[in-house]
Amino acid sequence: MALDFAGAKGSMRNVCVVGAAQTKFGELWDRSLRDLIVEAGIGAVKDAGIEKSAIQSLYVGNMSAGRFAGQEHLGALAADFLSLRVPATRCEAACASGSVAFRDAYYAVASGDIDAALVIGAEKMTDVHGSGALTTLAAAGDQEWEASIGLTFAGLYALIARKHMVDFGTTREQMAAVSVTNHKNGLKNKLAQFQMKITIEDVLNSAMIADPLRLFDCSPITDGAAAVVVASESAAKKLSTQPIYVLGTGQGSDSIALHDRASFTELLATKAAAKKAFEQAGIGRNKIDTTEVHDCFTINEIISLEDLGFVEKGKGGKFAEEGKIDLNGELPTNTCGGLKVCGHPVGATGVRQIVELARQLRGQCFNPINGAEIGLNLNIGGSGATAVVNIFGKEPRY
């Protein structure tokens, strides 16, 4: 349907997610980057029940299309192949690119400058050899002090994991429990890269990647795209789809190199982003019914739950081991499988998390959480230099 956007503008307004879609994630040899962008974008517009002419701005989250797929100027490319003659911007913040694009769209709508925006996160990572993908991903860290000496992100998170184990007694079994839970959550997810059940023993016996992290502790290299339509509350109320309100959003930064951090076992960017998002939402942690957190490696899910304030520092591993992140647990986490199972097309991940939360709060997801009213996503760039937290609800905050 066409929308009439006439109305007053000026003060910060309530913003809603009104459309959500994603492609299949995986090794998509027969799909190009533009194919994925178009599929996700058209899917989100269709899900919103609007015409493309209602979209007034386009934001594309992408980390490194130039190195992965040989394509730069991605905003223009997306606008071109979606036949959208609107301002189009590419946003880059390593693995947090998708959520940064979402925040840009949120503020454009909240400010009153526009009434509807399309956000697309996309990455095509498998068109290069594995070593090329690792080199590209390493560029999200400090090139001079980390990447140039061969320190991969698996290596960086392995250092973080080892320090967490030394300081708090976190065990390999506790990290493995994160992977087992995420695989269980992803069994029904037909869009995920993996659909298989695993055991603690499977994780502990998988190939060593960077001690103590093994293969099943690590998210994969993936192709995929996800998209959401963001609209003002007044525009959303004219649609037949259920709006999901943005209650709060926050972004934080820290040093890009791990060795410059005040602590190896906490991500200050996550804490800063969470503080801002919860203050804006005006709610406490106890109001969150479900979370999508950045589990690029199992240790990161553990630390994320700690830094978000859901569990005391050092006790995240036990929290996972005791089943408190399970679908029927205290805090259902990564209900469709997380990065570990869905796959991690880095520019798309943050938007995919938002798609899952929108579907979860609508009751349209693979693993619905009974009574879920409020959800949160955490999207991290690099080894923690960037973090974005968004909080969503079925009802507006004011």
Catalytic residue positions? 95, 344
Q: Measuring CA to CA, which residue among 269, 292, 305, 276 is closest to residue 383? A: 269
CA pair distance 339, 298, nearest whole angstrom: 10
Break the chain down into helix, strand, coil percent, rounded to 5. Answer: 40, 20, 40
Q: Name the phi and psi angles at 208, rounded to 5.
A: -70, 130
Exposed/middle/buried for 85, CB within 10 Å: 0-12, 13-18, 19+?
exposed
How many CA atoms lie less than 13 Å away from 63 in the CB half-sphere? 33
CA 352 from centre of chain: 6
Pairwise CA distance, residues 154 & 398, whole Å:
42
Q: Classify residue 286 by its DSSP letter.
A: G
CB environment 190-229: b (16+ within 10 A), e (fewer): ebbbbeeebebebbeebeebbebbbebbbbbbbbbbbbbb
CA atoms within 13 A on the CB side of 252: 23
- The values of phi and psi at residue 232, to 5°, are -70, 160
DSSP lists the bridge partners of residue 391 as 248, 376
Dist. CA 198–CA 179, nearest whole Å: 8
Calculate the CA 190 to chain-centre distance.
18
Instruction: Read off the tokens for 211.
Output: 């001690």
Is the separation of the CB atoms in 258 and 156 below 8 Å?
yes
